[in-house]
A and B are shown apart, each in its own frame.
Chain A
Amino acid sequence: MSTLPTSPDDAPVLEVTDLSVEYHGEYRTVRAVDRVSFQIGRGEIFGLAGESGCGKSTAANAIMRLLRPPAVITGGSIRFRGRDILTLDAEELRALRWREVAMVFQSAMNSLNPVMTVGDQIVDIFTTHERLPKSKARARAAELLELVRIDPARLRSYPHQLSGGMRQRVVIAMAVALRPHLLIMDEPTTALDVVVQQEIMAQIAELQRELGFSVLFITHDMSLMIELSHRMAVMYAGRFVETADASTMFADPLHPYTRALINAFPPLSGPVTPLVGLGEGVRFTDIPDLREERPGHWVAPVPVGTVIDGGRP
């Protein structure tokens, strides 16, 4: 997949500049997101890859302004369609969330209310946010399920009567119900088997083409991310270590950490060649700012002599 053409006057949907988030503990402070900057264009799928604890979910929650103490945004700015998200008051935030920026959380399929039918939960969206009458809301709910290829008869089902993949579809449909400009997805398919995962991802790509929203897609699965995203970033210990077109990142990763992540997903064809990961106990510290090595391909310089492989192949 190639980058979407973004003309200069086409302002980015999301603009994150020098964002820092800290967790203030009793004894120490941890900087979970450290001077991170990126932009997402209109209709662009931007991937954010990294391992657990690298700060990718914290960054996403910061964009939604969902962080609570001890997490504090300590610097930078987040602009969504020109507006500064960090200065919005509670009422403005309520208007922003779901309608303009929607989020699908990790294991979101468990976030459905088990004692309400799927239909009632979807109808709620329209009656609350769009003040539609019940009958109209029902019709919209049926359309929404059809959008993700679920039989509208399922509106009467309770979540436990649906398979995991189906529930995940329902959650994704609900997230895009109000036609948001940006959809944030945090590990949307982690708990699913590969066959269902691929179908959900195909569904998301199709919805995105149809409705044209931008996506911030967070996962640790590099091959999945490279398949779906236009552009992507790799995050490590709160810092970005590399950003590039997804295809460039796959073909020519420059940072050793990116290479280790890609190596974790060996190829399914060709000869079996030894791959190396990150050695146990290998840490990158004081990661410098990104530098543009090639047009559009930014990478954090690695000090000469850095050993990444502790494990023998």
Chain B
Amino acid sequence: MSISAPVTGTPADTEAAPDAVISLRGLSVDFPVGGLFSRTVVRALRSVDLDLERGEILALVGESGSGKSTIARCIARLERPTAGQIVVDGVDVLRSEPRRASREFRSKVQMIFQDPFGSLNPAHRVGQFLERAAKLHGRATDPGQLRELVENLMATVDLPVDMLDSRAFELSGGQRQRVSIARALAMDPEVILADEPTSMLDVSVRIGVLNLMRRLRDERGISMLFITHDLASARYVADRTTVMFAGELVESGVSTALMARPAHPYTQLLLSAVPDPLRAGSYDPVERARLRAAVLDSPTCPYDGDPDQVCSRTEPVRHDVGPAADRHWVRCHLYRPAADVASRALAVDTVDG
């Protein structure tokens, strides 16, 4: 697993990374707001370059509204990007399948949603979800084969086979989410996009679902984009973590390295806010105000003056940081996000900062 850092000191390369299963290049999404004749748009994503490598779990973290779900929805072709490329297995799918995704694409890329209560019809049997998916995508032809496939899926997600006859409403949240994962696996996908898969589950079963994701990566080599607002679970399950803020990527690297040495003020802000009994009472309003100001308009960049790493106020330049073995990239501190989007996302709401 390597860090897909683009050429130092320049905007991200426009070529897709060779070992990536999914590469996003310049992905932008505008949502129209206001009335029918309004031309106002909200820029949900701004020129996102992201690579999901084969067999890795990549976490996308950020606060609500930062655009992380929009990325997943674009890849799943549920949202139409305003600009940019989505390259899957070397093919720009927005060009090869411009209107809607093919069935082949859908079996390659599967999505798991946050709410397992909304994503499974409560009146259907667990078996039906899995059988339908397997049949639609031609994974099984005769009933015996189908039965075997479905039973294997249940074993993979640690659910008892006799639960195939249960109806969705009889299951707990954790069991439902496991059924959603089994349904996604029925297509034998290369990529799973998991949008906050544990945030609606009971706390005590969350770690079990994260463990399952890790096992699917290890045993089946499935690549995963894990979208979460929880840095602790990102660190626990994901090989790499990418931090999003106001529709843009600000920092990315190996999860443990990134969280040990966060370089961008926004990453530092997020990390300092995670409740952690080991550093209880460490909240520092002065430091918080400084970080907030730095996110919105940093007066300096630690890489300014380095001849190998050019800084820019206008281009989202990526700098390489950290020791040689643990390189990760961070967006130039001097680059200013669009002011309106950024201040909304930061929710600056106290008098003294």
**Which residues of A approach B to under 8 Å, CB–CB?**
1, 51-52, 149-151, 162-166, 169, 193-199, 201-202, 205, 220-224, 226-228, 246-247, 250, 257, 260-261, 263-269, 272, 274-281, 310-313
State whether A202 and B207 are in contact (beta carbons under 8 Å apart), knowing that A151-B351, A268-B231 are contacts in the complex: no
- The 7 nearest A-B residue pairs measured at CB: A311-B208, A277-B207, A266-B236, A278-B204, A226-B277, A223-B275, A224-B275
Residues of B within 8 Å of A195, CB to CB, are 63, 269-270, 273, 346-347
Q: Mark B200-223, 1 if CB is under 8 A from A, else 0.
A: 001111111001100100000000
- Closest B residue, CB atoms, query A228: B280
B215 adjacent to A312 (CB under 8 Å): yes
- A-contacting residues, B156-198, CB 8 Å: 158-160, 172, 174-175, 178
Residues of B within 8 Å of A193, CB to CB, are 63-64, 229, 347
Please tell me which one of the listed residues A226, A276, A278 contacts residue B280 in the complex, with CB atoms under 8 A apart: A226
A280 adjacent to B275 (CB under 8 Å): no
State whether A196 and B349 are in contact (beta carbons under 8 Å apart), knowing that A275-B236, A311-B211 are contacts in the complex: yes
Alpha-carbon separation in the docked complex, A261 to B208 (Å): 12
CB distance from B251 to the nearest CB of A (A): 16
Alpha-carbon separation in the docked complex, A310 to B178 (Å): 13
A311 adjacent to B273 (CB under 8 Å): no
State whether A277 and B260 are in contact (beta carbons under 8 Å apart), knowing that A199-B283, A227-B275 are contacts in the complex: no
A261 adjacent to B203 (CB under 8 Å): yes
B270 adjacent to A223 (CB under 8 Å): no
- A-contacting residues, B35-89, CB 8 Å: 63-64
B202 adjacent to A51 (CB under 8 Å): yes
Residues of A within 8 Å of B203, CB to CB, are 51, 220-222, 261, 264
**Which residues of B approach A to under 8 Å, CB–CB?**
63-64, 158-160, 172, 174-175, 178, 202-208, 211-212, 215, 229, 231-233, 235-236, 256, 259-260, 269-278, 280-281, 283, 285, 288, 346-347, 349-352
Residues of B within 8 Å of A263, CB to CB, are 207
B208 adjacent to A278 (CB under 8 Å): yes
Residues of B within 8 Å of A205, CB to CB, are 281
CB distance from B336 to the nearest CB of A (A): 19
Please tell me which one of the listed residues B63, B235, B349 contacts residue A266 in the complex, with CB atoms under 8 A apart: B235
Alpha-carbon separation in the docked complex, A165 to B272 (Å): 17
CB distance from A109 to the nearest CB of B (A): 12
B211 adjacent to A312 (CB under 8 Å): yes
State whether A261 and B204 are in contact (beta carbons under 8 Å apart), knowing that A193-B64, A199-B288 are contacts in the complex: yes
Alpha-carbon separation in the docked complex, A231 to B84 (Å): 53
Residues of B within 8 Å of A224, CB to CB, are 275
Please tell me which one of the listed residues B215, B236, B283 contacts residue A198 in the complex, with CB atoms under 8 A apart: B283
Residues of B within 8 Å of A310, CB to CB, are 158, 208
Please tell me which one of the listed residues A199, A267, A272, A279 contacts residue B208 in the complex, with CB atoms under 8 A apart: A279
CB distance from A232 to the nearest CB of B (A): 11
A223 adjacent to B349 (CB under 8 Å): no
- Closest A residue, CB atoms, query B177: A280
Residues of B within 8 Å of A313, CB to CB, are 211
Alpha-carbon separation in the docked complex, A277 to B211 (Å): 9
What are 28 A-B interface contacts by the 8 Å CB criterion?
A51-B203, A51-B204, A149-B350, A150-B349, A150-B351, A195-B270, A196-B349, A197-B275, A198-B275, A199-B283, A202-B285, A220-B202, A224-B275, A226-B277, A247-B277, A264-B203, A265-B232, A266-B207, A266-B233, A266-B236, A267-B278, A268-B235, A269-B259, A272-B235, A277-B208, A280-B172, A280-B208, A281-B160
Alpha-carbon separation in the docked complex, A267 to B137 (Å): 40
A280 adjacent to B178 (CB under 8 Å): yes
CB distance from B172 to the nearest CB of A (A): 7
B274 adjacent to A268 (CB under 8 Å): yes
Residues of B within 8 Å of A280, CB to CB, are 158-159, 172, 174-175, 178, 205, 208
CB distance from B21 to the nearest CB of A (A): 23
Please tell me which one of the listed residues A163, A223, A276, A279 contacts residue B276 in the complex, with CB atoms under 8 A apart: A223
State whether A198 and B276 are in contact (beta carbons under 8 Å apart), knowing that A220-B203, A275-B207, A277-B205 are contacts in the complex: no
> Which has the most chain A C-beta neighbours within 10 Å: B204, B229, B260, B269?
B204
Residues of A within 8 Å of B233, CB to CB, are 266
Residues of B within 8 Å of A198, CB to CB, are 272-275, 283
CB distance from B44 to the nearest CB of A (A): 17
Alpha-carbon separation in the docked complex, A1 to B281 (Å): 8
Alpha-carbon separation in the docked complex, A163 to B348 (Å): 9
CB distance from A247 to the nearest CB of B (A): 8
A311 adjacent to B212 (CB under 8 Å): yes
CB distance from A306 to the nearest CB of B (A): 14
CB distance from B220 to the nearest CB of A (A): 15
Residues of B within 8 Å of A246, CB to CB, are 277
A194 adjacent to B158 (CB under 8 Å): no
CB distance from A163 to the nearest CB of B (A): 5
Residues of B within 8 Å of A164, CB to CB, are 347
Please tell me which one of the listed residues B202, B215, B347 contacts residue A52 in the complex, with CB atoms under 8 A apart: B202
> Which has the most chain B C-beta neighbours within 10 Å: A52, A193, A260?
A193
A202 adjacent to B283 (CB under 8 Å): yes
CB distance from B218 to the nearest CB of A (A): 11
A312 adjacent to B158 (CB under 8 Å): yes
B207 adjacent to A194 (CB under 8 Å): no
